């Protein structure tokens, strides 16, 4: 991984990370706040 954020690398990483963070966020909320 690059410490310096290159535009293209950032864009591609964001596309992948956004999906993962969305799923992780839902799982975190589920474990924290219950079944919803």
- Asked whether residue 35 is assigned to any structural domain, the reply reads no
- Asked whether residue 16 is assigned to any structural domain, the reply reads yes
Over the Cα atoms of the chain, what is R_g? 14
Q: How many domains does the chain have?
A: 1
- Asked whether residue 17 is assigned to any structural domain, the reply reads yes
Instruction: Enter the tokens of residue 13.
Output: 């990483």
Which secondary structure element, helix H or strand E, spans residue 30, and what is its range? helix 7-33
- Asked whether residue 4 is assigned to any structural domain, the reply reads yes
Cα–Cα distance list, 12 to 4, 21, 31 (Å) = 14, 14, 29
pTM as predicted? 0.30
- Asked whether residue 24 is assigned to any structural domain, the reply reads yes
- Asked whether residue 2 is assigned to any structural domain, the reply reads yes
- Asked whether residue 36 is assigned to any structural domain, the reply reads no
The tens digit of pLDDT for each residue in 1-36 reads: 555 556 777 677 777 767 776 777 777 776 666 555
- Asked whether residue 12 is assigned to any structural domain, the reply reads yes
């Amino acid at each position: 991984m690059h410490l310096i954020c290159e535009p293209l690398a950032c864009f591609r990483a964001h596309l992948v990370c956004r999906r993962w963070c969305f799923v992780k966020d839902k799982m975190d909320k589920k474990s924290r706040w219950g079944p919803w």
